[in-house]
Chain A
Amino acid sequence: MFFHIILERNMQLHPRYFGRNLRENLAAKLMKDVEGTCSGRHGFVVAITGIENIGKGLIRDGTGFVTFPVKYQCVVFRPFKGEILEAVVTMVNKMGFFAEAGPVQIFVSNHLIPDDMEFQSGDMPNYTTSDGSVKIQKDCEVRLKIIGTRVDATEIFCIGTIKDDFLGVINDPATV
């Protein structure tokens, strides 16, 4: 799920950046530092949309670095347990398949793929129903339910399932 929220961060800036461009420098550094990172609570920071407020800087003893409390608006993406998500299949193998939703890596094991779908190996490995009407292969879009999440410093791992009503392939680029 995406959220547009306000977060706060203490930024340390080297004195050489002081001057009339101070604010721009702070903003640039903030983007570099924060965009693309993850936190367990907020998930993946997709983009910073604006700076809300830059507080008073505090000089640190000994180093000359200045710490600014910066409040900024950003878009974050955070998967939740129980959430239904649409994702693109990146790899299919006999253990199940891997899918991606932006920065989130999702694994759906073959225990959580409906029993009537069977693994077919070959150049384009896939899971197919016995009548061949539904096929999960690389680059397919699937709708899945998340049953477990874990957030690292730069990555989010999820376990998903498609063994439920209304889950599974929603669009197969190969057949379009």
Chain B
Amino acid sequence: MSLQADSPVHSSSSDDFAAYLDAELDSKSSESSPKSREEEVDEEEEEEEEEEEEKVAQVELCDLESKRIKRFKAEISENLEDPEGSTSHRALELNLEASSSKEACTHPGSFGDMCIVCGQRLNEESGVTFGYIHKGLRLGNDEIVRLRNTDMKNLLRHRKLYLVLDLDHTLLNSTLLIHITSEEEYLKSQTDSFEDVSKGSLFMLDSMPMMTKLRPFVRTFLKEASKMFEMYIYTMGDRPYALEMAKLLDPKKEYFSAKVISRDDGTQRHQKGLDVVLGQESAVLILDDTENAWTKHKDNLILMERYHFFGSSCRQFGFNCKSLSELKSDESDSDGALASVLKVLTRIHHMFFDELTTNLEARDVRQVLKTVRKDVLKGCKIVFSRVFPTQFQADNHYLWRMAENLGAICSKELDSSVTHVVSTDAGTEKSRWALKNEKFLVHPQWIEAANFLWEKQPEHKFSVNQTKKE
């Protein structure tokens, strides 16, 4: 301190006090101080005059430190002559090292580049970033596994599973204001106010600038699903968009607090992964309209029929039809896609907790999902006619696989046990056979519809158009 008092440049005594405190507090904690002080000096470049002083002070400190070490080493070398004492000293040295690294903390994660357990500054960036929970938070793999395990127990006790929800085309549909067609202009006068978000479904976001339409039934869906699931939002949109949408869906922040994952948080580009979701994969269900985004987790995925409200979104996916908004209509509230999916979710939840007899922790929701799916077309035997290209390996076709996943039996040959012939053309031999033998002749969309709606669809709605031929 005397050194600083002498200095003529320096003006404030409180400043010295700060430095003094700093040194005091640092030296009290078991970590050695010189290193952290050096770092601090690096950080500031504004106050150069003061810095010089600090360096002087620091040199003094370092000197002290090195003297201490020297003295210690001297003691060791003195005792080294004694052959028996040397081993004990080795141990002593090791002890010293151990205590200086704080009982070898494993640094399970970091917050603002500091270990979350010992507070030490970490230089290397390791683990997965959890920016969607809090800025600057990272967790190592071991810690993630540990958290998933403890959380899983907690969750099962509350009879809940995880549900990961996609935003666009699943829960809502957004369009840029510039993409609104003249036929949709009328929507601008129908937007709901932000005063009571929980009642509206069509919103104008001037800051984005975008217009967003929530899918019918979404509020009831979220309310019901939140009783059975811990829900995450996972979207390919950027974070400001994702948060804005979360505000619309969940104005009271009951469902998604700190559980909104955007593409900025994912670990892979153009892919969604469950690695940033703090839930065990065997308990996660995913609701999404894009199968390709979840290549690694197809077993967890419940594919949704896309919700296209705005014309721009239809055209984006190559449909040249009128959109719902242009037709001034909308999906049905009571038996739209979300309502039917909610039924499926309820069933899976029920099966998982009430019907399975195995140990709760050994249960796998993916298996349950498979079983439920297999019930949809159970008992159907399907023959395809002129659906696959001739040289195509039939059982590799997505419709074939889809039908099999839904529990139907697919066959290449006709026989009396066949129940459905799937074709786009009523004129093929197999189609005519079906008509003659009073079997169902259905369009391939029949399978797709069953896949989306989780229910066998009435065949007459998907009859193959015969007028062309006749």
How distant is A106 from chain B, measured CB to nearest CB, in Å? 9
Between B22, B108, B119, the greatest number of chain A beta carbons within 10 A of the residue's beta carbon is seen for B119
How distant is B147 from chain A, measured CB to nearest CB, in Å? 6
How distant is A134 from chain B, measured CB to nearest CB, in Å? 18
Our pick among A82, A121, A148 for the contact of B114 (Cβ within 8 Å) is A148
A135 contacts the other chain (Cβ, under 8 Å)? no
Dominant SS among interface residues on chain A: strand
Contact B230 A81 (CB under 8 A): no
Residues 6-53 of A at the B interface (beta carbon under 8 Å): 6-9, 39-42, 52
Contact B117 A109 (CB under 8 A): yes
How distant is A122 from chain B, measured CB to nearest CB, in Å? 8
How distant is B9 from chain A, measured CB to nearest CB, in Å? 10
* Set of chain B residues within 8 Å of A119, measured between Cβ atoms: 150-151, 154
Contact A80 B114 (CB under 8 A): no
Range class of the A interface residue count: 35 or more
Contact B18 A3 (CB under 8 A): yes
Kindly supply a per-residue 1/0 record for chain A positions 104-128, scoring 1 wherever the CB is within 8 Å of any chain B CB and 0 otherwise: 0101010110000001110101000
* Set of chain B residues within 8 Å of A155, measured between Cβ atoms: 112
Report the bound CA distance from A98 to B47 in whole Å. 32
Contact B109 A95 (CB under 8 A): yes
* Set of chain B residues within 8 Å of A42, measured between Cβ atoms: 18
* Set of chain B residues within 8 Å of A170, measured between Cβ atoms: none
Report the bound CA distance from A109 to B146 in whole Å. 13
B111 contacts the other chain (Cβ, under 8 Å)? yes
Contact B151 A81 (CB under 8 A): no
Our pick among B15, B25, B112, B114 for the contact of A5 (Cβ within 8 Å) is B15
Contact A159 B116 (CB under 8 A): yes
Report the bound CA distance from A5 to B438 in whole Å. 94
* Set of chain B residues within 8 Å of A94, measured between Cβ atoms: 147, 150-151, 154, 278
Kindly supply a per-residue 1/0 record for chain B positions 346-380, scoring 1 wherever the CB is within 8 Å of any chain A CB and 0 otherwise: 00000000000000000000000000000000000
Size of B's binding interface in residues, CB under 8 A: 52
Contact B137 A107 (CB under 8 A): yes
Q: Which single residue of chain B is at the shortest CB-CB distance from A120?
A: B154
Report the bound CA distance from A172 to B466 in whole Å. 73
Q: Which single residue of chain A is at the shortest CB-CB distance from B36?
A: A81
A143 contacts the other chain (Cβ, under 8 Å)? no
B84 contacts the other chain (Cβ, under 8 Å)? no
Contact A107 B116 (CB under 8 A): yes
Contact A157 B112 (CB under 8 A): yes
Contact B25 A82 (CB under 8 A): yes
Report the bound CA distance from A20 to B249 in whole Å. 56
Report the bound CA distance from A41 to B43 in whole Å. 8
Our pick among B50, B54, B113 for the contact of A150 (Cβ within 8 Å) is B113
How distant is A163 from chain B, measured CB to nearest CB, in Å? 10
Kindly supply a per-residue 1/0 record for chain B positions 130-141, scoring 1 wherever the CB is within 8 Å of any chain A CB and 0 otherwise: 100111110100
Report the bound CA distance from A155 to B46 in whole Å. 17
Contact B114 A150 (CB under 8 A): yes
Q: Which single residue of chain B is at the shortest CB-CB distance from A108?
A: B116
* Set of chain B residues within 8 Å of A39, measured between Cβ atoms: 43-44, 46-47
Contact B17 A159 (CB under 8 A): no
Report the bound CA distance from A150 to B36 in whole Å. 10
Q: Quick one: given A6-B11, A111-B108, A111-B116, are A80 and B133 in contact (CB under 8 Å)?
A: no
Our pick among B11, B25, B108 for the contact of A80 (Cβ within 8 Å) is B25
How distant is A123 from chain B, measured CB to nearest CB, in Å? 5
Our pick among B22, B120, B133, B135 for the contact of A148 (Cβ within 8 Å) is B120
Contact B12 A6 (CB under 8 A): yes
Our pick among A8, A105, A112 for the contact of B112 (Cβ within 8 Å) is A105
How distant is A87 from chain B, measured CB to nearest CB, in Å? 14
Residues 89-143 of B at the A interface (beta carbon under 8 Å): 108-109, 111-121, 130, 133-137, 139
Report the bound CA distance from A91 to B130 in whole Å. 14
Contact A8 B43 (CB under 8 A): no
18 chain-A/chain-B pairs, Cβ below 8 angstroms: A1-B21, A4-B14, A6-B15, A7-B12, A52-B11, A80-B21, A91-B257, A94-B278, A95-B116, A105-B135, A107-B111, A107-B112, A109-B116, A123-B254, A125-B257, A148-B121, A150-B113, A157-B114
Top 9 nearest A-B pairs (CB, nearest first) are A148-B119, A157-B112, A40-B43, A147-B119, A109-B116, A6-B12, A107-B111, A159-B119, A148-B114
Please give the residue numbers on chain B whose beta carbons come within 8 Å of chain A beta carbons, in ascending order: 11-12, 14-15, 17-18, 21-22, 25-26, 28-29, 39-40, 43-44, 46-47, 49-50, 54, 108-109, 111-121, 130, 133-137, 139, 147, 150-151, 154-155, 158, 230, 254, 257-258, 278
Given A41-B44, A91-B257, 12 more pairs with CB closer than 8 A: A6-B12, A6-B15, A7-B47, A78-B18, A81-B119, A95-B116, A107-B116, A107-B134, A109-B117, A148-B114, A155-B112, A157-B111
